[in-house]
């Protein structure tokens, strides 16, 4: 429950609308992309810290020739690699298929293709760090003196090495197998992605949650670099908003101590306080206060709490959690257009 009376905190007036629209979704016809799952490859998703958190089957993107601009035969200067080649290059079982795909990509390579490799690597298992050597002559060594442990390498680790080597060969850079080095190098370059980069991004992350596809249709318009939108480790609305919570008087909120943090808001003389310990679980509250429909967003990563009016030009905009981040800031989405919205820009 949240406190409805006597809240001592105040907050800036709610914005009349979200301040920055990151992109507008476009209606697209169904059927231009299909998926086939490679069951033999149990890939791992990797959360923001880079630790594998859940098994994920690697999806092979099958684009019909008529639907894929890259599948035709345009002039060499305008030609781009077919997206299918990147997925074929991620085959952990058939080296011939993978190497053939990389050979097709190589002569068409611009630096912007590294963005695709970066996101594919994002969902793969990197090699384990080498173990320190054991000095068996050391009398103070731990007992038992020697152990043989066989660690079976994850199938995606083979692809990780393949992609890292290919990235180094194509760029002339030395990333030393470090994902962060590759990422920082990409972000230091002008934003010149593959023309179907948004489509790739949606299909790749759809292997985690098919609803991610709706945020990145082909031809999507964007006001930011799409390669700076990263997965936050949850599915769409995986952190469910707090919707129109029950309230009680401040005097009855005996579950709160005096030093507990609350986020307060006042609208036309009506006040409400949202305990941090509750809002942190939901990161968003949909509520009505002082006759206004509000969307109250709490980004736990950047520490902002901002209320927005939910009715714009007479239309009630329902906001949800996209599961994505932009520069470590929570990205919201509206259910009407599936547009992504920054928390505070």
Q: Are residues 39 and 188 in the same domain?
A: yes
**pLDDT tens readout for residues 222-267:** 989 999 999 999 999 999 999 999 999 999 999 999 999 999 999 9
Q: Are residues 54 and 118 in the same domain?
A: yes
Confidence grade of residue 219 (pLDDT, cut at 50, 70, 90): confident
Q: What is the spatial order of strands in the sheet that 262-267 belongs to?
A: 247-249, 2-5, 270-275, 262-267
**pLDDT tens readout for residues 153-175:** 888 999 999 999 999 999 999 99
Cα–Cα dist 304/155, whole Å: 40
What number is the average pLDDT over the span 116-130?
89
- 232: in domain: no
- Cα dist. 266→12, 108, 151, 263, 296 in Å? 9, 58, 58, 11, 13
Q: Are residues 264 and 318 in the same domain?
A: yes
Helices (H) and strands (E) in the chain, counts: 7, 16
Confidence grade of residue 282 (pLDDT, cut at 50, 70, 90): very high
- 143: in domain: no
Q: Which two tokens stand for residue 330?
A: 């929570």
Give the position of tokens 């209606």: 27
What number is the average pLDDT over the span 279-300?
94
- Domain containing 187: what range? 34-134+153-220
Q: Are residues 200 and 257 in the same domain?
A: no
Residue 273, CB-side half-sphere exposure with 13 Å CA sphere: 19
Q: What is the pLDDT of residue 84?
A: 94
- 10: in domain: yes
- 289: in domain: yes
Cα–Cα dist 223/24, whole Å: 10
- 199: in domain: yes
Contact 317, 336 (CB under 8 A): yes
- 141: in domain: no
Work out the mean pLDDT of the chain and round it to a whole number.
78
Contact 209, 323 (CB under 8 A): yes
Q: Are residues 170 and 287 in the same domain?
A: no
Q: Are residues 324 and 253 in the same domain?
A: yes
Q: Are residues 307 and 185 in the same domain?
A: no
71 pLDDT more than 70: no
Q: Are residues 190 and 300 in the same domain?
A: no
Peptide bond into 144 cis (omega under 30): yes
Q: What is the pLDDT of residue 78?
A: 67
**Contacting residues for 29 by C-beta, under 8 A, at least 6 apart:** none
- 308: in domain: yes
- 148: in domain: no
26 pLDDT more than 60: no
64 pLDDT more than 50: no
Task: Indicate the number of domains in the chain.
Answer: 2
């Amino acid at each position: 429950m949240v406190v409805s009376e006597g809240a001592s905190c105040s907050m800036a007036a709610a914005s009349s609308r979200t301040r920055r629209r990151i992109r507008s979704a476009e209606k697209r016809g169904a059927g231009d992309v299909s998926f086939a799952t490679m069951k033999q490859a149990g890939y791992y998703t990797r959360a923001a810290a880079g630790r594998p958190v859940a098994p994920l089957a690697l999806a092979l993107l099958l684009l019909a020739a008529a639907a894929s601009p890259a599948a035709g035969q345009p002039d060499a200067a305008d030609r781009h690699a077919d997206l299918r080649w990147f997925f074929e290059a991620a085959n952990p079982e058939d080296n011939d298929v993978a190497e053939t795909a990389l050979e097709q990509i190589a002569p068409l390579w611009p630096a912007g293709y590294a963005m695709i490799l970066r996101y594919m690597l994002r969902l793969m298992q990197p090699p384990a760090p080498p173990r320190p050597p054991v000095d068996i002559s050391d009398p103070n060594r731990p007992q038992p003196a020697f152990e043989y442990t066989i660690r079976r390498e994850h199938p995606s680790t083979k692809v990780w090495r393949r992609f890292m080597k290919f990235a180094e060969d194509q760029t002339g850079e030395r990333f030393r197998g470090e994902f962060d080095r590759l990422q920082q190098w990409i972000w230091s370059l002008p934003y010149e992605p593959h023309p179907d980069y948004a489509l790739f991004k949606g299909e790749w992350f759809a292997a985690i949650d098919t609803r991610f596809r709706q945020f990145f249709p082909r031809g999507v318009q964007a006001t930011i670099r799409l390669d700076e939108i990263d997965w936050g480790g949850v599915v769409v609305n995986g952190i469910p908003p707090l919707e129109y919570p029950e309230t009680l008087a401040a005097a009855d909120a005996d579950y709160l101590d005096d030093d507990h943090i609350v986020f307060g808001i006042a609208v036309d003389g009506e006040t409400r306080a949202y305990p941090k310990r509750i809002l942190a679980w939901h990161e968003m509250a949909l509520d009505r206060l002082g006759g206004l429909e509000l969307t109250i967003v709490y980004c736990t990563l950047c520490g902002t709490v901002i209320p927005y009016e939910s009715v714009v030009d007479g239309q009630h905009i329902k906001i949800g959690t996209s599961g994505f981040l932009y520069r470590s800031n929570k990205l919201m989405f509206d259910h009407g257009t599936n547009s992504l919205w920054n928390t505070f820009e």
